[in-house]
Structures are given as structure tokens and as C-alpha cells.
Structure 1
């Protein structure tokens, strides 16, 4: 994977399968969770939704191994018994979240498979919603799949930034106001305050165009694991 390939990518699987950059289980786990939250209406079983929530807790060190194992068993049972194709793919994606991986390349391979099941769930959900078994259903499903793949690439870029060009971050930018804003958006998952965070960072002396532009991009995607918020909160 080169920087040019990273910047030009339109779907996540090829990126992840050729991933060579250092990463962490936390960031990969949060990417997988974000993929699943995008198809939340298709993840219908309480056990599967719980798997997403426990996986997020694991990412932040708020869950223990016993809880992970129990959630894994419950989500796996749901995925095995589900018979509706769209929901089966969605449940399979959520089941995979709860596994325990620690090292590359298993991390990136795991993420690639989770992303695959998530965008296939989007494809199948749209295909069957059309209500026909013809070209119109196939084309509609493909549009949904491509849109989901594009969204997943946006998630990757929000979480990892440009891994080929790490952005220096000065500790002096972590003022009380900056920290409070970053904690609020992280915990609430409401990232509408990102432009306000940019203003606070700039007031603190931040002059990084990459940091400020990421916060202020009106078309930007932000989820837990966002590289700017992680830099502020010193999360890896």
C-alpha cells in the first residue's frame, strides 16, 4: 500500500488486505463498529447490537474478557440461525466485532471481512427491498454497495488520517476548553461541534492546516476514533 493508493482508494477491502502501516486494535475495532453502526437497521437482534456496544467498550478498556466471550457466543448463535440474507450478512458483521485480535496482519484482515459483510448487507437489503428479481434490483443493490464502500473509505480516513504523513501535535494545544470539547464529542458521538473544536484549537495556538481542515470540512465524516479527537485525547 502506497500513499497514492491510499488517497485514490474507493473501497476498503483492497486497502485493508494490503495494509502495512502500524495500527492498534482499538482503532481497527472502532472502524469495524462504525461500519456496523452504518447498517444499524439491519442489525436487528439484541445480541448482535450488544456485540457492537461491547466491542466499543473493549476499545476503550471498559469491558473484560468474560464479557467479550459471552457477547461473542450470543452474537455467533444469532448469526448461525438467521435465515434472511440481508440480516444474516449484518449479523455476521456484528458477530465478527467481538473477536479478540491483537496483532497485524490479523487486525487488518478482520477489518476487511467485517467491512465486506457490512457492505454486502447494504447491497442485499436494497436488492430485496426493490421486491423484484431482475436487473433493477441488481442495479439498485450495486448502487447501495458502492455507496457503503465509499462511506467505509471515509471512515478509514477519519480514523487513520493519512498514515503516510503523521501530523505533529503540540501538548500546548490541549487546553481545558479543547479537552472538554473533544471529550464531549467522543462520548456523545455527536460530532457537530468539530468546527467549534477547530476554533478552540486555533485559539490554543494550533496552526496545523491538516488538523483544522479536518475539523472544519463540511462534508467530513467523524466517528469514534477520529484521528484529530484521538490526538487531543492522547488515544492510540
Structure 2
């Protein structure tokens, strides 16, 4: 994959499997949770809502895996009780894939099943295509640009971590850290431009970081800038 394909690509399968070696299980799970939260479904099924809640809680250590497995079981039962290939069936499949433990390499299929829901809802028009683009943007939100400064070569996870550690020491002011933690806890991603200003005030001149904070569009828990500042992997 080239840098241009990474930045503009709309094939989630290709983007996900290209970036999966750079993703922790936590980030992979939060990517899927973000897809559930931001995809404009008519009405997310209660099992799907519960799945996104418990997985998000589990990655932060606020609930144990038994709760995730319980929701996974409920999603499996729902899959067997609803009409095959109906919107409710695809919602149940999304919940089932989201709650796989340990985090499956197929967690990206949560997004795929959400797209299938939109395809099967009347009057959605181009929404499945819009959702596909959204999911690709969300993946890029949780993955640090894998090509920057490498002459088109992908950064290994080890080299990325060394780069991030160096950046952290340069500008982790109390204001920036407090803003980043508040953004994470409150899901207040509208504050990202304010975070960019705080980082600049602390001496950050990294264009990747500043532009990511200021770019229009969606951010989710797992955003690589917020995780960088708060010490989450």
C-alpha cells in the first residue's frame, strides 16, 4: 500500500489488514466501538448498544470479560432468532463480532455488518457508501500515519513507539495533558482544536499532530493523538 492509498483509500479490508500489525487489541476494539457509535442507524438494537458499552468499559478495565462474553452469548442467540440477512440480523452479527474475546482479527467486520444494515434499510440511498468512508476515516483516527518521514516506507511498531516517546517528552504540559484526558473521558472531541492550541503553546510543532487535532471530521476513543498524550496504547 502506498501513502496516497492509505490517506484516501475507501477499502476498509485493505486498510485494516495493512494497519493491523500496528494496532493494539485495545485500539482495534475501540475502532469497532467507534463505528457502532457514529454509524447513523435507524435504531441500534439494544444488544448492539450494550455490546459497544461493555467493550468500551472492558478495554478501560471497568468491567471484566465475563460481561463481554455474556453479551456475546446474547448476540449469538439473537442471530438465531431473527430473520436471516435482515437489518436486525446484521446488527446482531455486528454485536457478535464486536464482543469476540480475545479481540478477533475479524473485529473490523463489525463495520462491515453496519454497512450491510444500511444497505437493507429503505431510503438509505448513498448511506452505505458514506458509512464506508466514515469507517475508513475512523481507522485513520486510531492509527498514526504509518508513512510520515519514512520515504514511503511503513514504520514498524517499535520505530513508531520510539518516535512517540520522544515527542511526548517535548510537550506534555499540564494543560495539554488535562485537555487530552478530559476529551477522552467526556468523549468531547469538539475540543480537539483547543488541544492543538495548547500543544503549540507547549512548543509542539509537529504538523501531523496539529493537523490531526484541527482537521474537520470525526474522532473516537482510541484517537492516536489523545492516546499519545494520555499514555494509552
Give the TM interval when normalised to the shorter protein: 0.7 to 0.9
In structure 2, how many angstroms separate the alpha carbons of the residues matched to 1:74 and 1:42? 21
Give the corresponding residue for 2:145. 162
| CA deviation map 1:97-120 (0-9, x unaligned) | 111135xxx52x331x22210111
Q: Choose which of 191, 196, 199 in structure 2 pairs with 1:198.
A: 196
8 Å Cα contact 1:13/1:116 also seen in 2:
no
Give the corresponding residue for 1:37. 37
Give the corresponding residue for 2:78. 78
Q: Is 1:144 paired with 2:127?
A: yes
- Structure 2 length as normaliser, TM-score? 0.84
Give the corresponding residue for 1:100. 101
Structure 1: state its 5+ residue gaps: 131-136
Aligned positions, number? 217
| CA deviation map 1:61-116 (0-9, x unaligned) | 222122121121122222332237122212211221111135xxx52x331x2221
Distance change (3 Å), C-alpha of 1:59 and 1:80: same
- Structure 1 length as normaliser, TM-score? 0.83
Q: Choose which of 179, 182, 186 in structure 2 pairs with 1:181.
A: 179
1:170 positional shift: 2.8
| CA deviation map 1:9-45 (0-9, x unaligned) | 1131232245463221001001111111123644543
Q: Is 1:230 paired with 2:227?
A: yes
Give the corresponding residue for 1:21. 21
In structure 2, how many angstroms separate the alpha carbons of the residues matched to 1:59 and 1:42? 27
In structure 1, how many angstroms separate the alpha carbons of the residues matched to 2:56 and 2:20? 24
* CA-atom RMSD in angstroms: 2.1
Distance change (3 Å), C-alpha of 1:77 and 1:148: same
8 Å Cα contact 1:48/1:94 also seen in 2:
yes
Distance change (3 Å), C-alpha of 1:7 and 1:172: closer
